[in-house]
Amino acid sequence: MPLTDLSLEESRGFCPALPEPDDFETFWTGTLGDHRDRPLNVRLTRFDNRQQVTDCWDLGFDGYLGTPVSGWLQVPAGATGPLPLVVQYKGYSSSRKVPFASPFAAAGYAHIVIDPRGQGWAHPTIVDSAGDDGPWGSGSGAPGFMTPHLDDPADHYFRRLYMDAFRALQVGLSLDLVDPSRVALVGHSQGGAQSAAVAGLAAMSGIQLNLACVDSPFLSCIRRCVDLASSGPYLEVVSWLRSHPYLVARAFATLNYFDIMHFVPRARCRTLFSVAMMDGTCPPSSAWAAYNAWGGRPGSGAATATKDITVYPFAQHPAGEDVQTWNQLGLLAKVLGSPVADTAGNR
């Protein structure tokens, strides 16, 4: 795929000033407040993941307005903690998948991976030996989630998704296995958007994070990406607005509440971004914009955070894939410290 966005030189300084909704802060502090006294109702059930290097639990908790969310918790086999925590968010159409040993748990971390609500159409679910669906259900219907309730941000899907993601962080912080002073977030594409949004929400809530890894993020500079994207979920908006041209302004006003460009200036933790310069799904200029605004827009005088970005000049949306995970593991060890934990009762 040819380069269809800004050049690398142009991208390095790209940070458009997107108008924030007048009630953005009120909207999200109100959403956080609506959930402050709602119990998480964490449910952990030991699960045989058929691996010897990690222990696994089927994780459930109450997400947005008490609705159930699923995930996996994996830790090094025999670990009793406290362990540094990595919370991972998944991309659009993805799921928590089959719980094969994760590189994060294998490296010594408590690793939580969360199902994006109602998604999973691109990944198979576990089926038992009789060929019946396991207790996790049979996935979801076909996409998508971009266009329903474009008339009201209060009812839009991404309000639910971001709150699920934030409550997943709270779940991790509540676990006895976890050291709450050593926490990182990881996500690619939609997961990258969740990682960025939760970093902003955590700062608004007084929760300290150590690191957020944001790979090829979705939902940054949404209006620009709808114009530029040649594949992926932004095209859902194009298709819908083709038939509803009179709702263009209202649709983008709603989506503006979920644009990570309004969350990242509030983030205070360290970050590692990645960007694929031939990304037709999430145009690379949008990743650069979020990276440049992280911790405060350039010249704003706001507090800044330590940040780095890995550039993949000829990659498409998956960007660095395993190479980027390798980079993240190196930085996690540096930022969170040694993930040494009690194993079978011995330090």
pLDDT of 217 strictly over 80: yes
Q: In this structure, what token pair is assigned to residue 28?
A: 């999200």
Section 16-45 average pLDDT: 97
Which residue type sits at 40? L
**Candidate ranges 15-29, 114-128, 144-158; pick with highest mean pLDDT:** 15-29
196 domain residue, yes or no:
yes
CATH number at residue 274: 3.40.50.1820
341 domain residue, yes or no:
no
- Give me the number of domains the chain comprises: 1
Contact 111, 86 (CB under 8 A): yes
Range of the domain at 250: 41-128+144-335
Residue 189 annotated to the active site: yes
Residue 7 annotated to the active site: no
Section 273-286 average pLDDT: 97
CA distance 229 to 281: 5
CA distance 265 to 287: 14
Q: In this structure, what token pair is assigned to residue 321?
A: 């894939």
pLDDT score at 253: 97
pLDDT of 346 strictly over 70: no
26 domain residue, yes or no:
no
319 domain residue, yes or no:
yes
DSSP conformational letter for 341:
-
pLDDT digits (tens, 9 = 90+) for 231-260: 999 999 999 999 999 999 999 999 999 999
Q: Which of 5, 279, 285, 286 is catalytic?
A: 279
Q: Enumerate the H helices of 98-218 as residue ranges.
A: 103-106, 157-174, 190-205
Query: Shortest CA distance to 265 belongs to which of 178, 168, 166, 197?
Result: 197
6 domain residue, yes or no:
no
- Cα R_g (the chain), whole angstroms: 19
134 domain residue, yes or no:
no
Q: Which of 94, 95, 189, 195 is catalytic?
A: 189
Question: What pTM did the predictor assign?
Answer: 0.91
What SS3 state is found at 178?
Answer: strand
The pairing of strands 83-89 and 110-114 is parallel
